[in-house]
Chain A
Amino acid sequence: MINRRNLLFLVFGTAFGFLLSRAGATSPAIISDLLLFEDLRLLWVIATAVAVGGALTWLAWRFGWRARNTGEPISIEHKPFKRGLIVGAVLFGLGWAATGVCPGTALAMIGEGKGFAVWVGAGILLGAGAGSWINRRLEKD
């Protein structure tokens, strides 16, 4: 469906995929350099992104910056401590180490023509579907 919101997120996604590639985050060799502490360039990318985001979040909160679409102050949403948080984070860390891929970079890698990432992407899709099902079961209890 073509509307303003979707076009906006197409641009956001394209810019994000491009930057992940230029960061080196779509290279398995550079991911392994990070995990084995041989080249920390990705750590600096992540740390800088978080620092800039943190500073802007503080400014937005302090001066009541408003979101353009709602006209209300920009939301500062804290994700909840879910029941599966620790187990999920451990599984994620194992998959990340095993493949050198995360959900965002998988798509950028597919775009770059890295064939193996199609398998990883298919696995993420199946895993995410299964995870949503488990989440619904956990919420019911």
Chain B
Amino acid sequence: MQTLLDALFSPLWTPVLVGVLIGLLAFAQRWLADQPLSCSTGFANLAGRLKPGATRDSQDDWRIVFLLGILLGGVIAALTDGAPGWQGTAAEFGRFYSALVPDSTLGSAIWWLVGGLLIGLGARLAGGCTSGHTIAGVAMGAPASLVASAVFFAVAVGTAQLAAWMLGV
């Protein structure tokens, strides 16, 4: 399984190396800009600006620029990994998501959209996501971030394991 995944999604870097780099990067934001890693707040700001009649606060532009950067980073990563582009095959999604997500175009679009809604809504109600709460917040020893991260993982793992068992995959 591991060699198969490596072949499909190469090149993946050694987990510890990527982890160290992400940890250093997240700290560099605090050192250079005194601003912890944050993703979901940027989505909320962007949503607020897209609303008709919204006023724009240029003080928060950097949050949206950061999101744009993540997208650009994905472009660069895909162009430089020497692997064929994404085709959306069952092998690329893995057997769990291939079995879980509806097959029809409309059904899968609704599935992804509703899943995204839960993610966005949940992150705002919790006050952060895997970036703000888990990577940044837990590193700063914030009790609320520890609780939020524990719930993120417990619910995601529990749901996935239950779904895998029900689907028989």
Q: Residues on A close to B: CB < 8 A?
A: 1, 5-6, 8-24, 26-30, 32-33, 35-39, 41-42, 44-54, 56-57, 60, 65, 67-70, 72, 74-82, 84-104, 106-117, 119-132, 134-135
Contact = CB atoms under 8 A, between A and B. Distances in A.
Contacts of A92: 118-119, 122-123, 126, 129, 152, 155
A135 B125 contact: yes
Chain B interface size band reads 35 or more
Nearest to A111: B74
A30 B71 CA distance: 19
A23 B73 CA distance: 13
Contacts of B86: 112-115
A136 B60 CA distance: 18
A131 B123 contact: yes
Given A79-B133, A116-B108, A69 B32 contact: yes
Main secondary structure of the interface of B (DSSP, over half): helix
Which of B46, B86, B126, B154 has the most CB atoms of chain A within a 10 A radius of its CB?
Answer: B126
Contact of B97 (A1, A100, A111): A100
Given A79-B133, A85-B147, A67 B69 contact: no
B74 A49 contact: no
Contact of B139 (A50, A67, A121, A134): A50
Given A9-B62, A84-B126, A113 B152 contact: no
Interface string B93-137: 111110010000000110111111111111111111111111111
Nearest to B152: A93
Contacts of A15: 25, 69, 73
Interface of B: 1-2, 5, 8-9, 11-13, 15-16, 18-34, 36-37, 39-40, 43-44, 46-48, 50-51, 58, 61-63, 65-78, 81, 85-86, 88, 91-97, 100, 108-109, 111-145, 147-148, 151-161, 163-164
